[in-house]
Amino acid sequence: MTVFTTSTHRSLEDPGFHDYYLRMVGDGDEYGAIEAVTGLLDQGVPAQRIMVDLIARTQQRVGELWAANEWSIAREHAATAISERALAAVAARTNERPRLGRITIACVDGEWHALPVRILAETLRLDGWRVDFLGASVPGPHLVTHLHQTGPDAVALSCMIPTRLPRAHAAITACRTAGVPVIAGGRGFGPTGRYAEMLGADAWAATAEQAASRLATDWPPAMDDPSVSPFLGDDEYTWVVRHRGDLIATALRRLAAAYPQVNQYDQRQTDATAEDTGHIVDFLAAALYVADERLFTDFTDWTNAVLLARNVPSQALVAGLLAVRDQLHDWPTARHMLDAAVNRLRPAPDPA
């Protein structure tokens, strides 16, 4: 292990600093990473800039390196653990006393990306809010119990993966029914937060800094009647969710015939194929829930890129999508979404 204690890259503005820090995070050098962030604090760099411009940006880069198959899952996990420690080190040096209201921060049920929302928690603490940070995967009923016990001014709800949107909807409705307005965030709500509004959130913010500014200047929002929650999730959505297990099992059986290479897979590849097939069904259900084909095709485009980086041809994903599609005889919207995804992956016909 390399411990970089004598770097020449000392400033956040130094063009080499981000690569230097990424190298430490990727090499498991947590001592170096902590020294780097505390060194920046000593120089007077605001904690907010370190969290957003260094720790968050590095995490995004970690995601790209994993997706490109340059980093293993283990390396990503180890890097994330170091980012969590670096964030804690920055937070430990700032002990702002609360002077604004109180905020509950939580990830929706089944959402395990706790670090992005932890950055939000520290940002709001720095701004002077009293923060109750509940962390990853908070079941809706427990969240509501917490609200009754603490009476916050807002719930900040994070959803990084769109498959959790139905749970996010239930949580948003429950919080608003308890009289607490919800600010939503995380990439699961779509690029411009389009699903946050659809699911009844009172506000949406793209970043922790945007959320801090909205909460400081324009809160609480005027709340409309929480009982008028939009109904989402039609028969197609319900059917796909109820038949999830059968859809996956049948798709995997049919895939073995349509794409015989899977019969040569080792255990790890077989497990990954089963997991990916599960994601196909889950993203399809989420796309049906919000009635938006783009949610599904964004996912399949992304999965295709991840698979290509691991030398799995698009043909394999197409076979998997068709193995699900061919079970959806009675569900035209779902079939249409799968067709749209397949058409994007098939090469354009040769004009000659």
Q: Which helix (H) or strand (E) holds 105?
A: strand 102-108
216 binds ligand B12 (CB under 6 A): no
- Where is 155: in which H helix or E strand? strand 154-158
Nearer Cβ to ligand B12, position 130 or 326? 130
158 binds ligand B12, rule: CB under 6 A: yes
Decide whether 165 or 319 has the Cβ nearer to ligand B12: 165
Task: Select from 143, 208, 290, 322 the one that contacts ligand B12 (CB under 6 A).
Answer: 208
| Interface residue with ligand B12, options 24, 82, 87, 117 (CB under 6 A) | 117
By CB under 6 A, name the one of 40, 47, 56, 324 that touches ligand B12: 56
Site string for ligand B12, 36-55 (x = CB under 6 A): ----------------x---
Comparing CB distances to ligand B12, the nearer of 7 and 34 is 34
Does position 112 bind ligand B12 by CB under 6 A?
yes
Residue 114 binds to ligand B12 (criterion: CB under 6 A): yes
Q: Rounded to an integer, what distance in angstroms lies between the CA atom of residue 30 and that of residue 155? A: 32
Among 46, 47, 53, 65, CA closest to 18? 53
Using CB under 6 A, which of 34, 41, 67, 308 touches ligand B12?
A: 67
Asked if residue 230 has a cis previous peptide bond (ω within 30° of 0), the answer is no
| Spatial CA neighbour of 330 closest among 232, 253, 240, 231 | 240
Nearer to ligand B12, 10 or 310 (CB): 310
Between residues 26 and 186, which has the closer beta carbon with respect to ligand B12? 186
Q: How far is CA 110 from the centre of its chain?
A: 11
Nearer to ligand B12, 137 or 352 (CB): 137
CA-to-CA separations, 90 to 16, 54, 343, in angstroms, rounded: 21, 12, 47
DSSP alpha helices (H): ranges in the chain?
A: 17-26, 30-42, 47-49, 57-67, 73-92, 115-127, 140-150, 165-177, 194-198, 208-217, 235-242, 244-258, 267-289, 293-309, 314-325, 332-345
Site membership for ligand B12, residue 157 (CB under 6 A): yes
Cα–Cα separations (whole angstroms), residue 4 to 22, 82, 219, 249, 264: 12, 15, 45, 49, 44
Q: Residue from 17, 259, 289, 299 that binds ligand B12 (CB under 6 A)?
A: 299
CB 200 within 8 A of CB 172: yes
Q: Which of residues 85 and 254 has its CB atom nearest to ligand B12 in the complex?
A: 85
Select the span of 34-42, 152-160, 243-251, 252-260 touching ligand B12 (CB under 6 A). Answer: 152-160
Pairing mode, strands 130-138 and 182-185:
unpaired
Measured torsion, CA atoms of residues 157, 112, 316, 166, in degrees rounded to the nearest 10: -40
Q: Among candidates 19, 28, 106, 93, which has minimal Cα distance to 54?
A: 19
Verify binding: residue 166, ligand B12, rule CB under 6 A: no
At 210 the three-state DSSP class reads helix
Told to check if 80 binds ligand B12 by CB under 6 A, we report yes
d(CA 46, CA 52): 10
* Contact call for residue 180 and ligand B12 (CB under 6 A): no
CB nearer ligand B12, residue 181 or residue 185:
185
Binding-site member from 184, 248, 328, 338 for ligand B12 (CB under 6 A): 184
Query: By CB under 6 A, how many residues form the interface with ligand B12?
Result: 39
121 near ligand B12 (CB under 6 A): no
63 in contact with ligand B12 (CB under 6 A): yes
* 187 binding ligand B12? (CB under 6 A): yes
Cβ-based nearer residue to ligand B12, 144 or 208: 208
- Nearest alpha-carbon partner for 108 in 152, 157, 66, 58: 157
Contact residues toward ligand B12 (CB under 6 A) are: 52, 56, 59-60, 62-64, 66-67, 76-77, 80, 110-117, 119-120, 156-158, 160-162, 183-187, 205, 207-208, 211, 299, 302
